[in-house]
Amino acid sequence: MNAPIPSGAVREPLRGGGPGAGQHTVRRHNLALVLREVAGPEPVSRAAVAARTGLTRGTVSSLVEELIAAGLVTELAAARGTTGRPASPLRLDPTGPAGLGVEIGVDAVGACVVDLTGAVRAQRVVHSHHRDDVPATGLATAEALAAEVVAEAGLAIAGAAVALPGVVGADGVLVRAPNLPRWVDVAVGDELGNRLGLAVQAGNEADLAALAELWSGGPPNAVHVSGGIGVGAGIVLGGRLFRGAGGRAGEIGHVVVAPDGPPCSCGGRGCLETAAGLEALLRASGTPDLESLVTASPPDVLAAAGRALGVALAGAVNLLDVPAVVLGGIYPRCGAVLLDAVRAELAARVVSRPAVDVRFSALGPDAALRGAATAVVHELLADPAIHTAAARA
Ligand SMILES: [Zn+2]
Tell whether 268 and 379 lie within a shared domain. Answer: no
Tell me which residue of 163, 201, 162, 169 sits closest to 185, measured CA to CA: 169
For residue 45, which phi and psi values (nearest 5 degrees)?
-90, 165
User: Is 37 in contact with 43 (CB distance < 8 Å)?
Assistant: no
Tell whether 232 and 199 lie within a shared domain. Answer: no
Residues 71-109: tens digit of each pLDDT: 999 999 876 655 555 578 999 999 999 999 999 999 899
CA of 271 to the centre of ligand 1 (A): 5
User: Is 185 in contact with 123 (CB distance < 8 Å)?
Assistant: no
CA of 161 to the centre of ligand 1 (A): 26
CA of 250 to the centre of ligand 1 (A): 13
CA of 228 to the centre of ligand 1 (A): 14
Counting as low any pLDDT under 50, the low residues of the chain are: 1-6, 12-21
pLDDT at 83: 58
**Single pTM value for the model:** 0.88
Neighbours of ion ligand 1 (CB under 5 A): 254, 264, 266, 268, 271
Name the domain count of the chain.
2
How many CB atoms sit inside 10 A of residue 266's CB? 16
Tell whether 234 and 202 lie within a shared domain. Answer: no
Q: Strand 120-127 and strand 157-164: pairing? A: unpaired
Tell whether 276 and 347 lie within a shared domain. Answer: yes
Residues 281-320: tens digit of each pLDDT: 999 999 999 999 999 999 999 999 999 999 999 999 999 9
CA of 176 to the centre of ligand 1 (A): 13
pLDDT at 391: 67
Q: How far apart are CA 162 and CA 46, in angstroms?
A: 36
CA of 265 to the centre of ligand 1 (A): 6
Tell whether 165 and 297 lie within a shared domain. Answer: no
Tell whether 376 and 267 lie within a shared domain. Answer: no
Three-state SS for the chain is CCCCCCCEECCCCCCCCCCCCCHHHHHHHHHHHHHHHHCCCCCECHHHHHHHHCCCHHHHHHHHHHHHHCCCEEECCCCCCCCCCCCCCEEECCCCCEEEEEEECCCEEEEEEECCCCCEEEEEEEECCCCCCCHHHHHHHHHHHHHHHHHHHCCCEEEEEEEECCEECCCCCEEECCCCCCCCCECHHHHHHHHHCCCEEEEEHHHHHHHHHHHCCCCCCEEEEEECCCEEEEEEECCEEECCCCCCCCCHHHCECCCCCCECCCCCECECHHHHCHHHHHHHHCCCCHHHHHHHCCHHHHHHHHHHHHHHHHHHHHHHCCCEEEEEECHHHHHHHHHHHHHHHHHHHCCCCCCCEEEECCCHHHHHHHHHHHHHHHHHHHCCHHHHHHHHC
CA of 205 to the centre of ligand 1 (A): 17
Tell whether 44 and 128 lie within a shared domain. Answer: yes
Tell whether 233 and 176 lie within a shared domain. Answer: no
pLDDT at 1: 38
Tell whether 203 and 248 lie within a shared domain. Answer: no
CA of 255 to the centre of ligand 1 (A): 7
Tell whether 254 and 149 lie within a shared domain. Answer: no
CA of 77 to the centre of ligand 1 (A): 57
Domain hosting 374: range is: 1-209+369-393
Tell me which residue of 390, 385, 387, 382 sits closest to 22, measured CA to CA: 385
Q: What is the CATH number of the domain that holds 387?
A: 3.30.420.40
CA of 273 to the centre of ligand 1 (A): 6
Tell whether 119 and 12 lie within a shared domain. Answer: yes
CA 242 centroid distance within chain: 13
CA of 256 to the centre of ligand 1 (A): 7
Tell whether 194 and 103 lie within a shared domain. Answer: yes
pLDDT at 86: 59
CA of 253 to the centre of ligand 1 (A): 6
CA of 312 to the centre of ligand 1 (A): 13
pLDDT at 79: 64
